[in-house]
A and B are shown apart, each in its own frame.
Chain A
Amino acid sequence: MELRGWDEFEIGSVLFSFNEKVENIPNVQQEDRSYSENNSFQASVAHWRVEKPIFNVDHCIDCFFCWIYCPDSSILAREKEVEKKGEKIMEQSMVGIDYVHCKGCGVCSSVCPTDPKSLLMVDEHDEEERVLANWPKKEGKEK
């Protein structure tokens, strides 16, 4: 992207978030929008991370605590096909983590209420398969 200097801008310049008009933004998900190159969605803060969260779908109860408390809009909640009583229906679920915008703060893991946790913070260079294979067992309540 070619950057203009401060003295090369016209008075009243505007940075546009989208390349074209997006109708009804509150109901159009990120993947269906056409972001302009000036939207921070196009940038990455992945290099800030020391630890990354790993999501284990087996333990998740779809409480969305991680979604509401994520400061970086990096928890992806979408409609997903799930099986309930033998029927396949579309339901709002937690589907994963946006590793481009996640800064690795660890809030999602700390608010996760399941036992064992569905989100764990691990070293940035750890492999996902290895972590998922060695997921901690249920601890039970301390007495």
Chain B
Amino acid sequence: MSKEIKNLKEYSKAAERFEGAHLLCPGCAHSMIVREAINATDSELVISSGTGCLEVSTAVYPYTSWDVPWIHIGFENASTAVAGAEAMYKALKRKNRLYQPERDVKFLAISGDGATYDIGFQFISGCFERGHDMMYICLDNEVYANTGGQRSSSTPIGASTTTSPSGRVSYGKKEKKKDIVQIMAAHGSPYVAQVAPNKWKDMVKKLKKGFDAGGPVFINAMSACTTEWKFDPSDTIDVSDVAVDALVFPLYEIENGTKLTITYRPKNVLPIKDYLGLQGRFKHLMKKENAHIVEQWQKDVDAKWEYLQRREEAGV
């Protein structure tokens, strides 16, 4: 059963099922998202993680940080691992052979953006086509942070990473970010949403909808990375706030592949320059010769926001 959470006082009664002393960086948004997701439900969970920061830091031999059944198989197949478990559960249920049929179990896969946007993409696509009753959460920190900060297809234009460094000849990554939310919605999945950990209420609402959807659900969670985005660990929430308010990560949901709803409209929309200025990976974009990148990006963000609003209005 996913529970109704009205305020943080109620929320904080949840007993942790994700323990401390994992080895994620101080101020990492990954663990905030995982905590928020796990504490948002009273159901028992079966979780699989794809390779990435979360997986390597929460299962360092001889310790595990998970108080739920958790598995890691490979970089690409967090989705199929959990889909297999779900298929078995369904089959046993149908044959009336469940060991404890009264238990309410949800299936959850959590991976980073590298494992979702690039390496595991065909597996996820397959899972969504087969229609497993599972939720997939992508922790989108826009870089392969675990292996030292290589560009992924989630990295936005202009970001300096170790494989797309900025310097005399280059302004960083030259390609734009892939729009995974729209791609997943195109699968016709019952529920697809974009969330941010700093807007916990919005996130809890979406997770509840997702857990109750009864089909493959995709959640793209923005995860600010103190190490690779290069900001102070204590600023994680501030940076996330600015990212949402500058509409770089608009919060919206798509139901049944078509019905788009914007769930958060910032009161004061910030210019994208405020967002870029907070992060070391965009430091070079503040120079005069790179001003056209910022300008273009601002135009793209505005156009995307316009597009989302129009789609919401049209309801298609």
Binding site for B on A (CB under 8 A): 1, 3, 15, 17-18, 22, 25-30, 33, 37-45, 48, 62-65, 67-74, 77, 92, 98, 100-107, 109-111, 121
By a CB distance below 8 angstroms, the chain B residues around A71 are: 24, 26-32, 35, 236
By a CB distance below 8 angstroms, the chain A residues around B21 are: 40-45, 72, 100-101
Q: Are B62 and A38 in contact (CB under 8 A)?
A: yes
Q: What 18 additional pairs, Cβ within 8 angstroms, besides A26-B39, A38-B62, A38-B63?
A: A17-B64, A17-B67, A26-B42, A38-B64, A39-B65, A41-B19, A64-B11, A68-B12, A68-B36, A69-B197, A69-B236, A70-B35, A71-B29, A73-B20, A101-B19, A105-B226, A107-B27, A107-B233
Q: Are B8 and A63 in contact (CB under 8 A)?
A: yes
B167 to chain A, nearest CB (A): 31
Interface size (B, Cβ < 8 Å)? Answer: 51
Among A42, A98, A102, A105, max chain B CB count under 10 A is at A105
Given known contacts A3-B61, A67-B8, A71-B32, A41 and B20 CB-to-CB distance under 8 angstroms: yes
Our pick among B12, B35, B66, B233 for the contact of A17 (Cβ within 8 Å) is: B66
Q: Are B27 and A106 in contact (CB under 8 A)?
A: yes
By a CB distance below 8 angstroms, the chain A residues around B62 are: 1, 3, 15, 37-38
Produce 1/0 per residue, B182-214, CB < 8 A to A: 000000000000000110100000000000000
By a CB distance below 8 angstroms, the chain B residues around A43 are: 21, 63
A101 to chain B, nearest CB (A): 3
Binding site for A on B (CB under 8 A): 8-24, 26-32, 35-36, 39, 41-42, 44, 58, 60-68, 197-198, 200, 226, 232-238
Q: Are B26 and A92 in contact (CB under 8 A)?
A: no
By a CB distance below 8 angstroms, the chain A residues around B44 are: 25
Give the docked Cα–Cα distance between A32 and B34 (Å): 22
Give the docked Cα–Cα distance between A81 and B19 (Å): 26
6 chain-A/chain-B pairs, Cβ below 8 angstroms: A25-B15, A28-B15, A40-B21, A42-B63, A70-B35, A107-B236
By a CB distance below 8 angstroms, the chain B residues around A110 are: 234-235, 237-238
By a CB distance below 8 angstroms, the chain B residues around A48 are: 26
Q: Are B16 and A109 in contact (CB under 8 A)?
A: no
Given known contacts A71-B27, A107-B234, A26 and B17 CB-to-CB distance under 8 angstroms: yes
Our pick among A25, A28, A92 for the contact of B9 (Cβ within 8 Å) is: A92
Give the docked Cα–Cα distance between A125 and B145 (Å): 32
Give the docked Cα–Cα distance between A107 and B239 (Å): 11
Q: Are A105 and B26 in contact (CB under 8 A)?
A: yes
Our pick among B10, B35, B237 for the contact of A107 (Cβ within 8 Å) is: B237
By a CB distance below 8 angstroms, the chain A residues around B14 are: 26
Among B29, B30, B67, B198, max chain A CB count under 10 A is at B67
Nearest residue (CB) in B for A43 is B21
Q: Are A30 and B16 in contact (CB under 8 A)?
A: yes
Give the docked Cα–Cα distance between A100 and B21 (Å): 8
By a CB distance below 8 angstroms, the chain B residues around A100 are: 20-21
Q: Are B12 and A101 in contact (CB under 8 A)?
A: no
Give the docked Cα–Cα distance between A111 and B42 (Å): 27
Q: Are B13 and A92 in contact (CB under 8 A)?
A: yes
A10 to chain B, nearest CB (A): 15
Give the docked Cα–Cα distance between A15 and B226 (Å): 30
By a CB distance below 8 angstroms, the chain A residues around B16 are: 30, 73
By a CB distance below 8 angstroms, the chain A residues around B237 are: 69, 107, 110-111
Among A38, A44, A68, A74, max chain B CB count under 10 A is at A68
Give the docked Cα–Cα distance between A36 and B63 (Å): 10
